[in-house]
Amino acid sequence: MRILLCWELGAGSGHLEPIGAIGQRLVELGHDVTLATRDLGATARYPLTRSLTMVQAPVIWPLGRHQNAFSPADLLLKLGWGRTDELCAWIDGWRALIRRRRADLVITEHAPTALLAARVSGVPAAVQGSGFFVPPAASPLPPYAIGGGVDRHRLDAIESSAVASINRALSRYGTAAVQQLADLYAPSNSFLSTYASMDHFGERPGVVYYGTPAQRGVGEAPRWPRGQGEKIFAYMHPDYPQFPVMVKQLAALGRPALVVAPGIEASRSQWPDAPHLRLQDALVDLDTVAAECRVVICHSSHGMLARVLRGGVAPLIAPCFVEQTMLAHRLASAGLAFAAHPDPAHHDYATMIEAVLTGEAQHERARRFAADNPPESADTRFHAIVDDMLALTATAHTDPASTRIG
């Protein structure tokens, strides 16, 4: 079977973790797999995807214009889905890839336009990802809200506008209209590669949570610098506004601190030179980190948090984006993580690290999470998601006319 994996939006290796594990499993099963990736460079460097056949995906720029989205519908409109000519151009780009690869099945990772293109092309599509990328099939789709009330009128108006925009585009291809955005995320073709306690929108009754891949052997063994006291591990982006402050504070602590920061080599001369502080851009094995270290600091990357929690460690989270903030709030509310102050200007890492070291209740909950989700069960659970996605082709009507009007 010919299968097209699609990554359209977002940045970072977190998007490559599930799609790479799915791709590897499909290749093991003998399928012809192509990954259409937003970032060829990152995909070529990442261990789980570098062996896959890859092509450049049609992408939407600029990347950051959706960061303040109110809801999934608002995100799509901020990306440009409200402009029919642009939306159709992106759909055409994905349709060309689907035709060129003669895809029998499309599997998406934060790739809503690829999902629309599959619908227009009459090719079955599986929507997979964390809860943020596979929203609950409600009408309207729920907002990206953290506590407080929701402006229902605004939510309805934005969704109505998004649905109208989508249907204007679909009509150009003679494809049947959608009644609601949830039609794109029907439970029958949605696959949650997460855990119930890590679902951005809260646990959903009656759905299958497939978990995240084990990812054994991804990254080198951590090389801890010299120093006294508890080890500290941080995975942070060097363009994070408070990154220099964090590095300076970690250098002042005197504890052995290993900081992984993608792209840090290009600016290494800017950072402190201390024997107890190591900065690098090479990935490390997070399973080993969790076994050797009780203090893990990160932005709230879904895949990283899953691996750290599976190691029985409650992380300290300093989120950057809306999906990270939602997940940080969810985990902190459940007592599975420590959330940094929402204003990064107030971050005092000495105080936060002390809270992590003395927060036994959170680490006990993390150990329970680890007991319920051992790494050795991850492969079995993730193989099941592949089997269930492949089953879509057995029941789908793959004639393009099946989604057309009349």
Please give the chain's pLDDT, 406 residues, in tens: 999 999 999 887 778 889 999 999 999 999 999 999 999 988 888 877 888 999 999 987 655 555 678 999 999 999 999 999 999 999 999 999 999 999 999 999 999 999 999 999 999 999 999 999 999 989 999 999 876 677 899 999 999 999 999 999 999 999 999 999 999 999 999 999 999 999 999 999 999 999 998 876 678 999 999 988 999 999 998 888 888 889 999 999 989 999 999 888 756 667 777 889 999 988 899 999 999 999 999 988 899 999 999 999 999 999 988 899 999 999 999 999 998 887 877 889 999 999 999 999 999 999 999 999 987 788 888 889 999 999 999 876 444 434 434 3
CA atoms within 13 A on the CB side of 247: 24
Q: Give dist(CA 54, CA 46) in Å, integer.
A: 12
Residues 201, 254 share a domain: no
DSSP type of residue 197: G
**Tell me, what CATH number does 56's domain have?**
3.40.50.2000
Non-local CB neighbours of 153 within 8 Å, separated by 6+ positions: none
- Does residue 160 belong to any structural domain of this protein? yes
pLDDT at 123: 97
| 217 within domain boundaries | no
Is residue 283 classed exposed, middle or buried when 0-12, 13-18 and 19+ CB atoms within 10 A define those classes?
middle
Count the helix, strand and coil residues of the chain and give each as a percent rounded to the nearest 5: 45, 15, 40
The reply to whether 250 and 319 lie within a common domain is: yes
Q: Which amino acid is at 318?
A: A
Report the domain count for the chain.
Answer: 2
Structure tokens at 338: 């420590």
Domain match, 34 and 130 both: yes
Residue 301 falls within a domain, yes or no? yes
Residues 259 and 136 in one domain: no
- Helices 84-100 and 152-172, packing angle to 10 deg: 60
Please give the pLDDT value at position 345. 79
225 and 256 in contact (C-beta within 8 Å)? yes
At 402 the pLDDT is 41
pLDDT of residue 406: 33
SS3 106: strand
249 in the same domain as 131: no
Element (H, E) at 170: helix 152-172
Residues 247 and 194 grouped into a single domain: no
Looking at the fold, whether 175 and 285 belong to one and the same domain comes out as: no
Q: Are residues 164 and 243 in the same domain?
A: no
The pLDDT score that the predictor gives to residue 50 is: 80
* Strand ranges across the sheet with 316-317: 277-280, 257-260, 232-235, 295-298, 316-317, 338-339
Q: For residue 227, is it within any domain?
A: no
Q: Is residue 219 domain-resident?
A: no
- Establish if 33 belongs to a structural domain: yes
Q: For tokens 């964090």, what's the residue?
A: 246
User: What pLDDT does residue 147 have?
Assistant: 67
What is the pLDDT at residue 67?
62
Position 266 scores a pLDDT of 59
Q: Are residues 343 and 326 in the same domain?
A: yes
Q: What residue numbers bound the domain in which 117 lies?
A: 2-211+379-396
Domain annotation covers residue 402:
no
Please indicate, yes or no, whether residues 31 and 153 belong to a single structural domain of this protein: yes
Q: Are residues 169 and 264 in the same domain?
A: no
Residues 392 and 348 in one domain: no
Tell me, yes or no, whether 404 lies in a domain.
Answer: no
Give the pLDDT confidence score for residue 403 in this predicted structure. 45
